Structure 1
Amino acid sequence: MSASVSSPAPVPSPSGSRVAPPTSADLLHFVRRTAADADLVASLPLDPEGRTWVRLDGPGGSEAWLIGWPPGTGTGWHDHAESVGAFTTASGALKEHSLAARLPTDGWKTLELTEGIDRERQLPAGQGRAFGRNHVHEVFNESPTEHAVSVHAYYPPLPRIRRYSRTGDVLRLEHVERPEDWQ
């Protein structure tokens, strides 16, 4: 089975000329640079009960966020649809579980996953990663006592997030969120 993936349209620059949209590598550079801004990271209000976030100006029309993670919180399994992205831990530590397989993007509700596709990354302060379209993962702060803070960027700005549940090797699409659901 083959699938075609269209390239994002060029982004207008302030001068009106067209420039290439940011790549996942560009976004990774941005989140690393932003995570190193100690004053910005310290300015994020932290809540002991739930995640907090502040929208940032990302490069080239991307969507970017500074996110605070109380101890024991996480995202659950999800993807960012057609957006490429990157994130870096600015303080504390995060863990990411991801799937090293390209899943069908639409038309399914339940998939049985094959052995060997699970990946796990520890992301202490200063560590991050970039990812491509339809990257399925969950991110969480395992610490029982310490907050974590991270910086995330996506391009194009998130058109939707698909949320999944997972039981063993079975991944189930639970619902789809659109930007109006989280802004």
Structure 2
Amino acid sequence: MSSTTTPAPATKPGAHPAPADEAPTSATAPTHAQLLDFVRRTAADAELVASLPLAPEGRTWVRLEGPGGSEAWLIGWPPGTGTGWHDHADSVGAFTTAQGELTENSLAVRLPSEGWKTLELAAGVDRHRALPAGRGRAFGTHHVHEVLNESTTEHAVSVHAYYPPLPLIRRFSRTGAVLRLEQVEQPEDWQ
């Protein structure tokens, strides 16, 4: 989440816990498939999705209770908003669009986890996905991407889950093939 993002008011954390018979035990990390199943089931909950207040400019969000101790979020995206290039460090994750359509641009390359400030990307590493309502994906550690609501008129809503809970988010800028590490955010920056 970015500092320009506005948390959604009056929505309780844990609003959509995973069913007990489907959640991994606390000793077992949820798999990519379990995270993806959770975000898909949660995105299909029309009442929960409709309960998220949508702001006209900044993104809104509410934290949810994900499976097996994962961190989960319901996020509202006004038209023309996005995350910028970032990764989720050592967390694996999944997200699904619940309403509207999101676009994901990602890199099909694993970046070094530390010790660099600027990298030149090789040709052919860019990936582009359109994710209309009901579509999502899972991803591994150090997955670098940006998520956008490219609509000029419609809000989008999505559900995200990460395990382990996000230790940090690295933010990047990109000019052509050059990726530059700009900022490292800690959980207190977005919670």
TM beyond 0.5: yes
Q: Deviations over 1:66-116 (max 9, x none)?
A: 000000000000000000000000000000000001111100000000000
Runs of 4+ residues over 2 Å off in structure 1:
none
After superposition, residues 13-162 of structure 1 pair within 5 angstroms as 19-162=27-170
User: For residue 182 of structure 2, what is the aligned residue in structure 1?
Assistant: 174
Offset, 1:136: 0.2
Q: Which structure 1 residue ranges, 5 or more long, are not aligned?
A: 1-12
Q: Deviations over 1:41-79 (max 9, x none)?
A: 000000001000010010000000000000000000000
Amino acid of the residue matched to residue 155 of structure 1? Y
Q: Which structure 2 residue ranges, 5 or more long, are not aligned?
A: 1-19
Offset, 1:18: 5.8
Offset, 1:19: 3.6
Do the aligned partners of 2:85 and 2:173 also contact (CA within 8 Å) in 1? yes
Distance in 2 between residues matched to 1:25 and 1:75, nearest whole Å: 24
Do the aligned partners of 2:105 and 2:128 also contact (CA within 8 Å) in 1? yes
Q: CA RMSD in A?
A: 1.1
Distance in 2 between residues matched to 1:135 and 1:121, nearest whole Å: 14
Provide TM-score, normalisation by structure 1. Answer: 0.90
Aligned length: 168
Amino acid of the residue matched to residue 137 of structure 1? H
Distance in 2 between residues matched to 1:26 and 1:171, nearest whole Å: 32
